[in-house]
Amino acid sequence: MVHVAIDQVLKRSILAKDDSDFTYFFSLLLAAEALAKTVVLGVVAAITDDKDRNRYRLEHQLVRADGLGDWGKVIEDALIGPASQFLVSEAREEQFELTRSCKVGEWQYDATAALKNALDHLGIDAEDLPVKSDMKRWFRLFATLRNKTRAHGATPPEKSGIAAEHIAKSVELFYRNFCLFKRPWAHLHRNLNGKYRVSAITEDTTSFDFLKQKQDRQFANGVYLFIGGLRHISLIKTDAGLQDFFFVNGGMNSKKFELLSYSSDDKIDGDASAFMTPPGTLPRSETEGYGELNLQGDCFTNVPELVRDYVTRPDLEKDLAKLLLDDKRPIVTLVGRGGIGKTSLALKVIQELFSHSRYECIVWLSARDVDLQLSGPKSVRPMVLSPEDMGKVYADLVLTLEKTKEKGFNARAFFEQQLQKSDLGRCLFVFDNFETTQNPIEIFNWIDSFIRLPNKALITTRLRDFKGDYPLDISGMNEHEARQLVNQTASTLCVSQYLDEKYTSDIIAQSEGHPYVIKILLGEVAKAKRAVNIPRLVAGTEDILTALFERTYATLTPCAQRAFLTLSAWNSSVPRHGQRISKLLICQYFGEEVWIHHAA
């Protein structure tokens, strides 16, 4: 069995043995630390996405950890704490091996006993080892050993040799027996042709072979563990050549955190922006929907209220209503940029459906994780992320608590039956912000497999990587609609006095009728209390651009990303009509959303 990251630091310790016992001892401490972090990060990666963001909560702790004691707390949380219930079923083997009480002769006990022997030989006080022990104690003992030697101790050279032999035995038993290291590990790098280069970290990587063909699914470059599917380990960094591995090592601030190589002692910086959102349960989205079915006209529904500042878009509303009222297409998709008004349009048309007899029930299931507010994007808690979540929410809406608690009740299977034929009659199932579900393509195929007319599904999404639906593209507002929104928002923000005809036209032109961008630009005017330069406003609102653009950019092929960035950085002296032509070419190739960032 080989795991390249662990083998690199073990080879370092073997070379150090030829130097001195003292050097060998500290090299083994580094190897054990790399082993411990690999195990913790692998187990944390096996935690599925949930509404309370347990995996993010643990990763948030790890990037801020200032000692291995914090890592021990994280592994206990992941194995037996609140996060443990969200481990993928395939990871139960790892959970069992690390939590089972073992006796002398079993590798878990012997690995822990060897570490305790090293502590005893060095005269370091540590918790006693009972007749039976689990591997969680190994992490606590190693934290003590590391803190009393590398961090705060002065290890006598004459004692380091025997202690090193005990540590070597402990690391070897852990590394050679723990099932996590028998799983497929690999580094993925997406080539310009859209295919992935799979660099094997462990010997068997056949589970990754499907990636060698061109993929519709998108995976960020990085280290992956295959356990019930691909699990990205974002806090270990390497490259396609696997020359060195860097592990998160604290040092978190507002911009970066530290990653350390236990093989070369080199350090690199990680991007802290991904871990700036506070952990814990986020607020609900303003468009999450109600937790019970209410009667609207002759229709039962949990659909949220329409936003107060909605501006009517007659042509789109007419087109969508027509699609939802027919009996021809089981799945209709609203496709458009973030903040373009897909959710608001859906809510407006649904309000009108209450007066028709087409549906007897309309169920709203939201995966929204960001509310686009005037003050900027705000992270919120998704209502549903997976088919299991959808089944549970639907069951809670239509069944009694006693029914959902019955032994053997399967909410997902129940929902699948209801997609085919609802007990409430003809039903419209609305899946809002579909791109933020756990796996949009697989979930779409799942919905497509079970939905049957006269039931229908309405999906709102920024990204449409699936087929079999009827798409309705949502673009920017026309001139009349945009002006109405400008006047309405300006009145709300009390900035009408700063706007004249030319400035209003500039806002509409620069935003290209994008509703949320219009609101943000006017919000910046309210802050400055004057009509400021519009291009500078757009370029300066980095969080807005990220919220609207980042997900779309991430789905482009590497070739498309490179071409787009080249065009975006092109300082051209081409006349304005020539720039319009380049804009048209970009939009045709990449889709309209990328132009927001290009314009900035």
Query: How many Å apart are CA 260 and CA 71, to the nearest integer?
Result: 15
Extents of the domains making up the chain: 4-181, 185-275, 294-474, 479-599
Q: What is the pLDDT of residue 51?
A: 76
Q: How confident is the model at residue 556 (pLDDT cuts 50, 70, 90)?
A: low
Q: Is the pLDDT of residue 546 over 60?
A: no
Mean pLDDT computed over 198-223: 85
Query: How many Å apart are CA 250 and CA 61, to the nearest integer?
Result: 9
pLDDT tens-place string over residues 245-254: 999 998 898 8
Q: Is the pLDDT of residue 215 over 70?
A: no
Smallest CA-to-CA distance from 180 within 60, 63, 75, 58 is with 75
Residues recorded for the chain: 600
Mean pLDDT computed over 44-70: 90
Smallest CA-to-CA distance from 441 within 459, 420, 455 is with 459
pLDDT tens-place string over residues 8-18: 999 999 999 88
Query: How many Å apart are CA 231 and CA 48, to the nearest integer?
Result: 9
Cβ pair 288, 368 in contact under 8 A: yes
Cβ pair 462, 593 in contact under 8 A: yes
Query: How many Å apart are CA 309 and CA 485, to the nearest integer?
Result: 8
Residue 565's identity, in one-letter code, is L
Q: Which residues contact 579 (CB under 8 A, 6 or more apart)?
A: 572
What class is the 294-474 domain?
alpha beta
pLDDT tens-place string over residues 124-177: 888 888 999 999 999 999 999 988 886 555 566 677 889 999 999 999 999 999
Mean pLDDT (the chain, rounded): 86
Q: In this structure, what DSSP letter does residue 85 have?
A: G
Cross-strand partners of 259: 248, 268
DSSP 239-297: -TT----EEE-----SSEEEEE-TTT--EEEEEGGGG-S--SPPPBPTTS--SS-EEET
Q: Is the pLDDT of residue 564 over 60?
A: yes
Q: What is the pLDDT of residue 147?
A: 87
Q: How confident is the model at residue 470 (pLDDT cuts 50, 70, 90)?
A: very high
Q: Residue 487 class from Cβ within 10 Å (0-12 exposed, 13-18 middle, 19+ buried)? A: middle
* Residue entry with tokens 């079993």: 106
Mean pLDDT computed over 462-483: 88
Q: Which residues contact 350 (CB under 8 A, 6 or more apart)?
A: 301, 303, 362, 428, 430
Q: Which residues contact 294 (CB under 8 A, 6 or more apart)?
A: 300, 301, 302
Query: How many Å apart are CA 6 and CA 200, to the nearest integer?
Result: 13
Query: How many Å apart are CA 279 and CA 57, to the nearest integer?
Result: 5
DSSP-derived 3-state class of residue 479 = helix
Cβ pair 71, 65 in contact under 8 A: yes
pTM of the model: 0.70
Cβ pair 489, 319 in contact under 8 A: no
Q: What is the pLDDT of residue 398?
A: 93
Omega within 30 of 0 (cis) for the link into 454: yes
Query: How many Å apart are CA 55 and CA 61, to the nearest integer?
Result: 10
Q: What is the pLDDT of residue 75?
A: 94
Smallest CA-to-CA distance from 464 within 429, 438, 434, 442 is with 434
Query: How many Å apart are CA 260 and CA 244, to the nearest integer?
Result: 10
